[in-house]
């Protein structure tokens, strides 16, 4: 397992370019007796294993893509491709599901059909949506789907399983404020886009505090404010880039409405104009309550109560497994990657590395989940 994980780690591939990784996955699955389907979402691989006679189908999903980050971990198995690295642990996710695949093929202690889904492009490029658009559920109708992601800062090999909304929807907003450029010494003859843009930034701070109901959660973050260059020139445009997050769909709609209204109205106050481009990204990830209870029970029966992180909470980042869970009930769990020096470095950090000590626990979870979900007669 460690060898496969490190092999994938050393050869990171970005979204929709996971050719070598998909080759490795498909080759192993074929060798172990799976029916292998390729091409959904471009580089996606689905391996199907059947046992017994039940006409029941479940899906387990891992993601395969890396990130455009230059690795600084210094590990012997560090990325050999400059500017690309497995900084989110998808190398570990792929290795865990492959290891489970091998064990399931050797033991076959279940009754039904298991679809192992190796997905491209989780990082911002919606590979899950592409697989669905390409007919994943028509080819592989699943009664339930399950996902797993490592989480640095949580104890190694313990599980955080959150019912209901477990991860946020993530939307992107681009606002262009158009004023009238002019001389910094003669502002009365200009329409200052910097002042109008600044006013938008400040007014946006009231959306969550004044519009979102106090017991709900939303996030409006301005990550970029681009305008001007010279001290004595009033620029005619200012560009703002936002990320907006919410859990409940009603809150997501409310944020879109208020962010758009504020941008237009604040610009108008100064005689400027705002152009707002609102792009909806991943939806919020919703764990089915019954499936969540089931996954918790699988862990409890195997590791005892200590296997579960008691105060596991939702996370305000986004995850495209949410697209699968919009169509099929299921549960997405977090597996602790460790704390401090052992696995505590946060994902998307250039020093991050998946904790190999977690591999066997994650693979075992997959196997136990299949055997519990599709019990052998
Ligand atoms: Zn990531
Ligand atoms: Zn990830």
C-alpha 150 – ligand 2 centre gap (Å):
8
pLDDT at 130: 98
88 Cα–ligand 2 center, Å: 5
Q: How far is the CA of 317 from the centre of ligand 1 (A)?
A: 9
Residue 233 CA to ligand 1 centre (angstroms): 40
Per-residue model confidence (pLDDT) at position 213: 96
Residue carrying structure tokens 């992107």: 172
Q: For the chain, what percent of residues have pLDDT higher than 90?
A: 99
Which tokens sit at 102? 């091998």
Q: How far is the CA of 121 from the centre of ligand 2 (A)?
A: 10
Buried b (16+ CB within 10 A) or exposed e, 12-32: bbbbbbbeebbebbbebbeeb
Strands (E), 263-320: 273-280, 285-287
d(C-alpha 166, C-alpha 143), whole Å? 20
72 in Cβ contact with 350 (< 8 Å): yes
pTM of the predicted model, to two decimals?
0.94
- State how far the Cα of 183 lies from the Cα of 173, in Å rounded to an integer: 30
How far is the centre of ligand 2, averaged over its atoms, from the C-alpha of 16 (Å)?
A: 15
The Cβ of residue 90 has, within 10 Å, a number of other Cβ atoms equal to 29
Domain 2-167+284-373 in CATH: superfamily? Zn peptidases (3.40.630.10)
* Interval 53-77: pLDDT, tens: 999 999 999 999 999 999 999 999 9
Ligand 2 midpoint to CA 320 (Å): 9
Q: What is the per-residue pLDDT across 311-347, written as a single tens digit (0 to 9) for each?
A: 899 999 999 999 999 999 999 999 999 999 999 999 9
Tell me how far apart the alpha carbons of residues 125 and 331 are, in angstroms, rounded to a whole number.
21
What's the start-to-end Cα distance of the chain, in Å?
30
Structure tokens, 222: 């301005």
Question: If you classify domain 169-280 with CATH, what class do you get?
Answer: alpha beta
Question: What spacing in Å lies between the alpha carbon of 33 and ligand 2's midpoint?
Answer: 28
pLDDT tens-place string over residues 191-225: 999 999 999 999 999 999 999 999 999 999 999 99
CA of 232 to the centre of ligand 1 (A): 42
Structure confidence by residue, pLDDT tens digits, 99-112:
999 999 999 999 99
Q: Where are the domains positioned within the chain? A: 2-167+284-373, 169-280
Q: How far is the CA of 324 from the centre of ligand 2 (A)?
A: 15
Query: Phi/psi at 22 (nearest 5 deg)?
Result: -65, -35
For ligand 2, the distance from its centroid to the CA atom of residue 90, given in whole angstroms, is: 6
Ligand 1 centroid, distance to 272 Cα (angstroms): 38
Query: Which ligand has its closest atom nearest to the C-alpha of 94?
Result: 2
Report residues near ion ligand 2: CB below 5 Å: 88
Kindly state the average pLDDT of the residues 263-282.
Answer: 98
Q: How many CB atoms lie within 10 A of CB 195?
A: 18
Structure tokens at 140: 């592989």
pLDDT bracket for residue 129 (50, 70, 90): very high
Residues with Cβ within 8 Å of 361's Cβ and at least 6 positions away in sequence, in order, are 157, 335
pLDDT in tens, 157-183: 999 999 999 999 999 999 999 999 999
Ligand 2 centre from 319 Cα, in Å?
A: 7
Of 324, 319, 320, 331, nearest to 288 by C-alpha is 331
Q: pLDDT band for position 377 (50/70/90)?
A: confident
Distance from the alpha carbon of residue 24 to the mean position of ligand 2, in angstroms:
20
**68: CA distance to ligand 1 center in Å?**
11
Distance set, CA 119 to CA 98, 169, 181, 284, 316 (Å)? 13, 20, 48, 19, 22
Q: Over 90: is that where the pLDDT of 274 sits?
A: yes
pLDDT of residue 302: 97
Mean per-residue pLDDT of the chain:
98
């Amino acid at each position: 397992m460690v060898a496969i994980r490190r092999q994938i780690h050393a050869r990171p591939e970005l979204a929709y370019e996971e050719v070598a990784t998909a080759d490795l996955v498909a080759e192993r699955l074929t060798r172990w007796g799976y029916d292998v389907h390729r091409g959904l979402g471009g580089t996606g691989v689905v391996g199907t294993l059947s046992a017994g006679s039940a006409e029941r189908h479940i899906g387990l999903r891992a993601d395969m893509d890396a990130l455009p980050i230059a690795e600084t971990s210094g590990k012997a198995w560090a990325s050999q491709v400059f500017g690309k690295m497995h900084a989110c642990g998808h190398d570990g996710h792929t290795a865990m599901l492959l290891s489970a695949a091998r064990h399931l093929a050797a033991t076959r202690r279940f009754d039904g059909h298991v679809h192992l889904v190796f997905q491209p492009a989780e990082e911002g490029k919606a590979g899950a949506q592409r697989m669905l658009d390409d007919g994943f559920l028509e080819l592989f109708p699943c009664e339930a789907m399950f996902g797993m992601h490592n989480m640095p800062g949580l104890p190694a090999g313990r599980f955080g399983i959150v019912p209901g909304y477990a991860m946020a929807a993530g939307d992107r907003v681009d606002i262009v404020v158009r004023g009238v450029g002019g001389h910094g010494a003669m502002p009365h003859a200009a329409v200052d886009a910097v002042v109008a843009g600044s006013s938008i930034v400040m007014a946006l701070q009231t959306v969550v505090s004044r519009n979102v109901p106090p017991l709900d959660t939303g996030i409006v973050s301005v990550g970029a404010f681009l305008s001007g260059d010279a001290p004595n020139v009033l620029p005619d445009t200012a560009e703002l880039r936002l990320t907006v997050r919410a859990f409940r769909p009603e809150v997501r709609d409310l944020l879109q409405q208020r962010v758009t209204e504020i941008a237009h109205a604040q610009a108008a106050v100064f005689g400027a104009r705002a152009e707002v481009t609102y792009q909806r990204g991943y939806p919020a990830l919703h764990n089915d309550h019954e499936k969540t209870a089931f996954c918790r029970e699988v862990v409890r029966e195997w590791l005892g109560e200590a296997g579960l992180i008691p105060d596991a909470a939702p996370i305000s980042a986004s995850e495209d497994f949410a697209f699968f869970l919009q169509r099929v009930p299921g549960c997405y769990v977090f597996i602790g990657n460790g704390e401090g020096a052992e696995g505590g470095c946060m994902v998307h950090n250039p020093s991050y590395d998946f904790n190999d000590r977690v591999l066997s626990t994650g693979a075992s979870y997959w196997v136990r989940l299949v055997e519990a979900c599709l019990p052998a007669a």
